[in-house]
Amino acid sequence: MIALVTGANKGLGRETARQLAGLGMTVLVGSRDQDRGASVAAALGSGARPVRLDVTDSASLRAAADEVAWAYGRLDVLVNNAGISVMAPAGETDGATLRQVLDVNVIGVADTIRAFLPLLQRSAAPRIVNVSSTTASLTLTAAGTDFGGDAATRLAYSTSKAALNMLTVQYANAFRRDPGLSRIRINAATPGYVATDMNGHRGTRTVEEGARIIVQLATLPADGPTGGFFNDQGTVPW
């Protein structure tokens, strides 16, 4: 099995790559910095290989897809993990901030899926996992749920992840309708509040715990769910 994890040079992406490699997959360590990707791939062993990839740069996505096509001719698992968070109070969140976050967390995912769709189509069991956030849940947010961290500065981030959830459902519905794409299982995963650079390591869960649901959705059986939103306890409300 060939798996690509975007943003795999650190944090949850690196741990997801490690767990997938542990299952015997060939893991392509997506990183926008070639050297950092190469050192993570080297640490993961012979089953891993670095791929330079910036999800906001269509030329880099094309080059990465060409590289995978040339080396393997297909892709079995795509984990859209790359993401950013820009924390700012709602009243101070301007269009530029929103655009920056949406560019990586939403448009970057759509462009990555588009770039790798022809390769996923050549897989016997294609899987896409979009790494979302519990803070994307409209239901839980409207109910005033405490997700940990600073709720007052999450407007851009949570809005982007809610859009990512809709993207997931839209793709799932489109794939179901198309006989050439209906084998693809695509789901949104939330790892919980995980200690990584993104939150200054204030998260309460480990990357090992957080990556578990991502790996589970990346290795779903053929009759597994598609178009869902899950954490490691089960379904998360939209």
Ligand X SMILES: NC(=O)c1ccc[n+]([C@@H]2O[C@H](COP(=O)([O-])OP(=O)(O)OC[C@H]3O[C@@H](n4cnc5c(N)ncnc54)[C@H](OP(=O)(O)O)[C@@H]3O)[C@@H](O)[C@H]2O)c1
Residue in 33, 66, 94, 178 binding ligand X, rule: CB under 6 A: 33
Q: Taken in order 48, 215, 139, 171, is the CA torsion positive or negative? A: positive
Task: Find tokens 């995963």 and name the residue.
Answer: 189
Interface with ligand X (CB under 6 A), residue from 2, 3, 5, 11: 11
196 is a site residue for ligand X (CB under 6 A) = yes
In the set 72, 161, 171, 193, the catalytic residue is 161
Listed residue (209, 213, 206, 205) closest to 236, CA to CA:
213
The answer to whether 191 contacts ligand X (rule: CB under 6 A) is yes
The verdict on whether 161 is a catalytic residue reads yes
CB of 1 to ligand X, least distance (A): 21
120 or 207: CB nearest ligand X? 207
| 130-189: contacts with ligand X (CB under 6 A) | 131, 133
Number of C-beta neighbours around residue 218 at 10 A = 26
Q: Which is nearer to ligand X, 61 or 119 (CB)?
A: 61
Phi, psi at 4, each rounded to 5°: -115, 130
Closest to 28 (Cα-Cα) out of 133, 157, 115, 124: 115
Does 83 sit near ligand X (CB under 6 A)? yes
When binding is defined by CB under 6 A, the residue of 175, 193, 229, 230 that contacts ligand X is 193
Figure out which of the listed residues 38, 63, 69, 84 binds ligand X, where binding follows CB under 6 A.
84
Both structure tokens of 187: 């789901």
Among 39-47, 71-79, 81-89, 175-183, which window interacts with ligand X (CB under 6 A)?
Answer: 81-89
* Catalytic residue flag (residue 10): no
Could you tell me which residues come within 8 angstroms of residue 192 by beta carbon, excluding any fewer than 6 positions away? 134, 203, 204, 205, 209, 210, 231, 232
Q: How far is the CB of 223 from ligand X (least distance, A)?
A: 27
Binding residue count for ligand X, defined by CB under 6 A: 30
Cα separation, 14 vs 12, whole angstroms: 5
Question: Exactly one of 3, 64, 82, 117 binds ligand X (CB under 6 A); which one?
Answer: 82
Phi, psi of 152 (to 5 degrees): -75, -10
* Member of 198, 211, 217, 236 binding ligand X (CB under 6 A): 198
Nearer to ligand X among residue 117 and residue 129 (C-beta): 129
Q: Which residue type is seen at 118?
A: P
Alpha helices in the chain (DSSP H): 11-22, 34-44, 58-72, 95-102, 108-121, 138-142, 155-177, 207-218
Residues at the interface with ligand X (CB under 6 A): 6-7, 9-13, 32-33, 53-56, 81-84, 104, 108, 131, 133, 190-191, 193-194, 196-199, 203
Positions annotated as catalytic residues are: 157, 161
